[in-house]
Copies of this chain bind each other. A is one copy, B any other.
Amino acid sequence: MRNVDEDSITQIVLARQAQAQDPRLKQVMTSVVQHLHAFARDVELTEEEWFKGIQFLTDVGHITDDKRQEFILLSDTLGLSMLVTALNNRKPEGCTEATVFGPFFVEHAPHYENGEDVANGAKGEPCFVSGRVTGLTGEPIPNAHIEVWQADSDGFYDVQYQGEEGSKGRGSLRSLEDGSFHFRSITAESYPIPHDGPVGRMLKALGRHPWRPAHLHFMIEAPGYERLITHVFRDGDRYLDSDAVFGVRSSLIADWRRHEPGVAPDGSRVETSFSTLSFTFILNREAATEGGDKR
């Protein structure tokens, strides 16, 4: 393979990695090489453009740390994350659809009892959330593990505040016997994804805004069911048609009802206006491993 040229190179690279032990790795990397090369040929990538690409990826790498994941942001804004989510979460009609995970989930968030306030001091108007977790035939799913996380009214997740410790606007709880759950939090607002880095510069150059429509993140797990990672979006948000990370699915848009100061659903008095949200999450049964049926 001494005479590498623009015609021969792709086959030469593929032949070189034909010895990969792991057949799946070989398959994935074959496709990576084919598409990477096809891209360069399609656009006749110049050396200057190639170098700009190298510099861009270097910048993405250098701004990424424990608190900020610019590669996920890049994947999100190019629609790759949502595509991978969709490819891996095909569900029967009627099940709650999945959407992007996003970079702001944190493991081991504090546990709350139903009715407690997961805002834990996060800034924003109160929101009372209630819902149910069920299967596709309506069977209630008790004791489901529910993780919820959201940004505050300034558009920031707790982990985006430098130097601050403690979870705000995130937590886990369990569904009750009848599959229901309820908690207090703050009203979700639309917010821009972090756009002071290379991904922000890319969006600007592409004539795109960095905003996401208001949403609440949920991850719900229960034995015998597929894990559901999704959002609930707030109806009426101006960015529902142009989510910077392409996460909106019509079935996930819900009505956040506004209320004047007064008595909240939990019986407490609230001195400010507040909102209420109710949503039913319908989980898909896990593929049969012990005689269960997968619809």
Contact = CB atoms under 8 A, between A and B. Distances in A.
A241 B84 CA distance: 37
A36 interface: yes
B2 A83 contact: no
A20 interface: yes
A210 B50 CA distance: 23
Nearest to A253: B2
A78 B41 contact: no
A144 B62 CA distance: 38
Contacts of A35: 35-36, 38-39, 42
Interface residues of A, number: 77
Given A37-B80, A61-B58, A249 B86 contact: no
B2 A84 contact: no
B19 A206 contact: yes
Q: How many copies of this chain sit in the oligomeric assembly? A: 2
A35 B83 CA distance: 13
A290 interface: no
Contacts of A39: 31-32, 35
A79 B12 contact: yes
A88 B21 CA distance: 35
A31 B43 contact: yes
Contact of A17 (B31, B49, B206, B250): B206
Contact of A83 (B1, B6, B84, B207): B6
A103 to B, nearest CB: 9
A263 interface: no
Contacts of A83: 6, 9-10, 37, 40-41
Contact of A37 (B2, B10, B79): B79
Given A78-B33, A87-B45, A205 B5 contact: no
A6 B84 CA distance: 8
A85 to B, nearest CB: 7
Contacts of A78: 13, 32-33, 36
Interface in A62-119: 62, 64, 69, 71-72, 75, 78-88, 90
The 8 closest A-B pairs by CB, nearest first: A61-B61, A19-B207, A6-B86, A13-B79, A35-B35, A17-B206, A35-B39, A20-B206
